[in-house]
């Protein structure tokens, strides 16, 4: 019995383990990047981000479908009715040239707008980026409204793809409008005060620059001085970690082949 088992030779290690490690690194690093790139982006843009009392400005709710076709959608927008007065609202070009409005609900006292729109023509994939709604607001002229930042928020949004299925991968970016009773600005040409550059050369292929820093000063309303620090760090540790992992995998592969 012992002689029989003693003649059994151990199996040579395979390259399955290095392949599993490489697959794990790919899923950890690159898969989230692909998921983020495929997000439908919904952004509120404004013709003016700083307004005075009684001033009129326009809001554009833009949608970038990425890989999806957009057949229809429903949106709920909230705003402060004591600060903003809705003047006009219209459907944009996201749903083609002849869209159908299914729901049109405007509650000015509560500051809530709800619209449901559908496309009548064929939905192509991907749809072109476009505007869901165009809204025109007027800021209040009463003295009881304080200066400050006021939000326009997408409280809810639902979009249907080319198969009329709900799109779940949506990222929303809201906007803040600054109400100012008097607004004057003076800009001073940016002056770099300090610049520091540090470069590490790991090999003839890999060159990393750690930080490039400069300070810019500007004056706003002739009363306050703001100092802004711009910095562009590059993560050396992350790059070196990837290099070390690659070296480790190559070593494991060579070792397994030699056996």
230 band by pLDDT with thresholds 50, 70 and 90: very low
pLDDT band at 233 (very low <50, low <70, confident <90, very high): very low
Predicted confidence at residue 98, as pLDDT, reads: 94
Of residues 141, 164, 144, 177, the one with CA closest to residue 69: 164
- Residue that wins the pLDDT comparison between 253 and 211: 253
Task: Find the mean pLDDT for residues 211-220.
Answer: 37
Q: Is residue 243 predicted with pLDDT exceeding 80? A: no
Q: What's the confidence (pLDDT) of residue 149?
A: 97
Domains and CATH numbers, the chain: 40-179 (2.60.40.680), 196-258 (no CATH)
Of all residues in the chain, the percent with pLDDT exceeding 70 is 61
Tell me if 116 sits within 8 A of 103, measured CB to CB. yes
Q: Is the pLDDT of residue 12 over 70?
A: no
Question: 92-96, 135-139, 166-170, 180-184 — which is least confidently predicted?
Answer: 180-184
73: nearest Cα among 97, 46, 42: 42
For the segment 49-68, what is each residue's pLDDT rounded down to a tens digit?
999 999 999 999 999 999 99
- pTM here? 0.59
Q: Six-digit token pair at 166?
A: 């709900």
Give the pLDDT score at 136. 98
**Integer Cα distance of 153 and 71 in angstroms:** 23
Residue 188: pLDDT above 60? Answer: no
Cα–Cα distances (Å) from 32 to 21, 68, 170, in that order, read: 17, 18, 15
Q: What confidence category does residue 232 fall into, taking pLDDT thresholds of 50, 70 and 90?
A: very low
Question: C-alpha dihedral over 86, 92, 97, 99, to 10 degrees?
Answer: -60
Under the banding of pLDDT at 50, 70 and 90, the label for residue 109 is very high
Phi, psi of 33 (to 5 degrees): -65, -40
In angstroms and rounded to an integer, the radius of gyration of the C-alpha atoms of the chain is 29
pLDDT band at 14 (very low <50, low <70, confident <90, very high): low
Least confident of 29-33, 84-88, 138-142, 221-225: 221-225
């Amino acid at each position: 019995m012992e002689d029989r088992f003693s003649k059994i030779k151990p199996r040579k290690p395979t390259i399955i383990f290095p392949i599993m490690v490489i697959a794990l690194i790919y899923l950890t690093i690159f898969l989230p990047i692909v998921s983020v790139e495929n997000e439908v982006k919904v952004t509120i843009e404004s013709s003016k981000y700083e307004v005075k009392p009684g001033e009129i400005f326009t809001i554009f709710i833009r949608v970038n479908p990425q890989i999806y076709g957009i057949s229809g959608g429903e949106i709920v927008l909230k705003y402060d009715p004591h600060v903003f007065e809705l003047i006009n609202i219209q459907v944009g070009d996201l749903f083609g040239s002849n869209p159908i409005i299914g729901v049109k609900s405007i509650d000015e006292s509560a500051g809530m707008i709800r619209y449901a729109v559908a496309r009548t023509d064929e939905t192509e994939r991907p749809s072109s980026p476009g505007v869901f709604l165009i809204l025109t607001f007027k800021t209040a002229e009463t003295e009881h409204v304080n200066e400050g930042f006021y939000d326009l928020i997408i409280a809810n949004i639902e979009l249907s793809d080319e198969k009329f299925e709900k799109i779940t991968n949506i990222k929303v970016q809201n906007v803040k409008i600054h109400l100012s009773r008097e607004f004057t600005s003076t800009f001073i040409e940016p002056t770099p005060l300090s610049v520091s550059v540090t470069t590490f050369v790991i090999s003839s292929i890999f060159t990393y620059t750690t930080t490039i820093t400069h300070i810019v000063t500007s004056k706003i309303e002739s009363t306050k001085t703001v100092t802004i620090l711009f910095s562009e760090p590059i993560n050396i540790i992350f790059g070196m970690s990837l290099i070390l992992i690659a070296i480790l995998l190559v070593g494991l592969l060579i070792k397994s082949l030699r056996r």
